[in-house]
Chain A
């Protein structure tokens, strides 16, 4: 049940970022969050770079979920 909750939250947060429903998050999507999250543009850039583990400029659900797991469990899960 807990696993499903985490999966659900991951999807929910991913969609909150990917408002155009592209299936990935780009830097522009991340910068847009600046209007409603208490994070600076620089911090959001940092979040994007940290989550974009392969550095291709696109954040997939997999990368996003890996970052969320790292946050939840306090370590990076590959």
Chain B
């Protein structure tokens, strides 16, 4: 199902985004 695949890809991108925000936050003094 292409829609399901797109959904899963979006979740991955979202996770990447929030993980980056979290690491930026904890990485800064």
Contact = CB atoms under 8 A, between A and B. Distances in A.
A39 B21 contact: no
A34 B29 CA distance: 21
Contacts of A13: 18, 21, 25
Interface residues of A, number: 20
Contact of B14 (A9, A36, A37, A70): A70
Say whether chain A's binding surface is mostly helix, strand, loop, or mixed: helix
Contacts, number: 43
A43 B16 contact: yes
Interface string A34-78: 001111000110110111000000000000000110111000000
B21 to A, nearest CB: 5
Contact of A46 (B10, B18, B21): B10
Contact of A47 (B17, B24, B25): B17
